[in-house]
A and B are shown apart, each in its own frame.
Chain A
């Protein structure tokens, strides 16, 4: 290694560092922090008013039928269920991919599993509409081919359809991080545990599960935040009773054009989402940088 003749490269390119920092600063300050702060400020004013007030936030306890609280609570509950379901469906596949398949077979499976992930979310939702709607493929099979049903049923526009599509849409966001955590687990560790007499359940509990935890956390966070803030799936697949919190926010901004109230709703969503993410990180002993940053 030769480093002698270089006169501290840092000093020579100080202007370079400034130039490097500028785009990042403009981006984070101008496009992220400032707009978010502006929205936060806005949420403390009434429409057209100029005194600071908590009225927008308090209004959620006063609106008819407590609609916001009910929708919000339901969204939160469903989102947690979606994250848990996705974990259950994806985990075995991640394990098989990381620890059972080898070599060429493994590569083929990675490609097979990653490919649908590149397809637009809208198309993935539309695919399920085509399957489940009244004139859809499932009804065709049940009514015209198998003749188990006398007449088509509408399988869309209910909570179960919505859950199925949510899990479908975010499956790979759960699978890939768990896979990469498990892939990093040294195979000899599993073997050592087996040699020491551990049964399958103990191997899973004390070796496999802890090793997969960073991936599980990152998968849960991704699936949770993306379903919580999703607008498409509840709008296209959910029924009238499946109102989602993002639809309420959208209505405030676009239909009722009450931006201040919409901003307050947005921040409640952001606060609760952050709280859940924080809780997940605490629960699993991970950090955001470790989970998302590598």
Chain B
């Protein structure tokens, strides 16, 4: 770039400056934010409306849809099915997050540090999982599970296979849900972690080894702390992606629904403000987790 003219930020700030352009711009921004926030705001508002329908007019403030002391309205904390689904979702999300962090870190090291034949193809297959429709990932895993059960039964005999619990693991259920969600969320985690590992100044690791650390110690004490912001955001992305997953889970779920699955079935049959109350909890949880990871990532990584 030829630095003949020193950049003047003032002029650049308004490259499209016409008298009405600025006004138009702020109208657009205001409408954009309204479009983003108004629907969510109304959902939240109606969770506290003292009415049996999630609708206006406003009939006064109530917390019945969270805790109902009398039992006429079903508050979420008085609804065992809802609480059970929350627990299930939490369990699945923690499982998926743990898998994503471990496998994502090893995969990131492999792709960034040890180029091997077929590495590009493997990377492509991994990234492809993000664009493969979630429904298809779920279906494919389900039918593979079935196939494995059938083959194992032919080989080892039915009693043995059921005895070691394999057939129940590979049937629709939480184990398959975790594997199915991990199969594409793992790619998101790997991409995030690999992105930061790529910028790691590898001399630091060498320096640690010069000072007497083993390679493993150097990675653990020098590289992993450097990766921490990426690990945090990979963890949050994995957790939230899992907690909100519907498409892949739909086919893999057994008789223990996750929260999105239960939410969906409630939505189809009866809409009460209880759904708004669940939404409020989830919104607050997800937004604060997301903000936290953004702020942490920003604070810990001045160089991006």
Contact = CB atoms under 8 A, between A and B. Distances in A.
Interface of A: 1-3, 5-6, 9-10, 12-13, 16-17, 19-21, 23-25, 27-28, 31-36, 38-39, 42, 89, 92-93, 96, 99-100, 102, 110-124, 126-131, 135-137, 140-141, 144, 168, 171, 186-192, 194-195, 200, 203, 221, 225, 228-232, 236, 246, 249-250, 253, 259, 262-263, 266, 269-270, 273-274, 277, 288-289, 292-294
A225 B127 contact: no
8 contacts: A24-B103, A130-B55, A203-B15, A236-B268, A263-B139, A269-B133, A289-B123, A292-B127
Interface in B127-175: 127-137, 139-141, 143-144, 147
A168 B39 contact: yes
Contacts of B40: 116, 119, 123-124, 127
A23 B216 CA distance: 18
A191 B144 contact: no
B191 interface: yes
Contacts of A6: 206, 209-210
A38 B141 CA distance: 9
B244 A120 contact: yes
B217 interface: no
Contact of A186 (B1, B43, B182, B275): B1
Contacts of B53: 135
A225 B128 CA distance: 11
Interface of A is mostly: helix
Interface string B268-291: 100100011001001100110111
Given A6-B210, A20-B110, A20-B114, A93 B32 contact: yes
B139 A262 contact: yes
Contacts of B116: 21
B33 A292 contact: no
Given A229-B134, A232-B246, A266-B139, A192 B13 contact: no
Contacts, number: 262
Nearest to A230: B247
B20 interface: no
B161 to A, nearest CB: 18
A270 B129 CA distance: 11
Contact of B13 (A102, A140, A262, A292): A102
Contact of A130 (B42, B126, B179): B42
B29 interface: yes
A21 B110 contact: yes
B246 A122 contact: yes
Contacts of B243: 120
B209 A120 contact: no
Given A140-B56, A246-B133, A273-B131, A118 B290 contact: yes
A256 to B, nearest CB: 14
B135 A231 contact: yes
Given A12-B215, A20-B106, A121 B244 contact: yes
A126 B183 contact: no
Contacts of B28: 92-93
Interface string B97-133: 0000011001101100010100000111111111111
A137 B42 contact: yes
Contacts of B282: 119-120, 123
Nearest to B54: A130
B133 A270 contact: yes
A54 B60 CA distance: 63
B102 A187 contact: no
Interface of B: 1-3, 5, 7-9, 11-16, 25, 28-29, 32-33, 35-40, 42-43, 46, 53-57, 102-103, 106-107, 109-110, 114, 116, 122-137, 139-141, 143-144, 147, 179-180, 182-183, 186, 191, 195, 203, 206-207, 209-210, 215-216, 240, 243-244, 246-247, 250-251, 260, 263-264, 267-268, 271, 275-276, 279, 282-283, 286-287, 289-291, 294
A236 B16 contact: no
Contacts of B131: 221, 225, 273-274, 277, 292
Contact of B143 (A35, A112, A119, A230): A35
A232 B246 CA distance: 8
Contacts of A141: 56
Contacts of A117: 290
A135 B55 contact: yes
Contacts of B33: 112
Given A33-B125, A96-B25, A131-B42, A168 B35 contact: yes
A14 to B, nearest CB: 10
B133 A273 contact: yes
A55 B102 CA distance: 43
Contact of B141 (A31, A115, A130, A277): A31
B133 A229 contact: yes
B143 A42 contact: yes
B133 A93 contact: no
Contacts of B244: 120-122
Nearest to A107: B298
Contacts of A38: 140, 143-144, 147
Closest 5 pairs (CB-CB, A-B): A229-B133, A118-B290, A127-B39, A35-B140, A35-B144
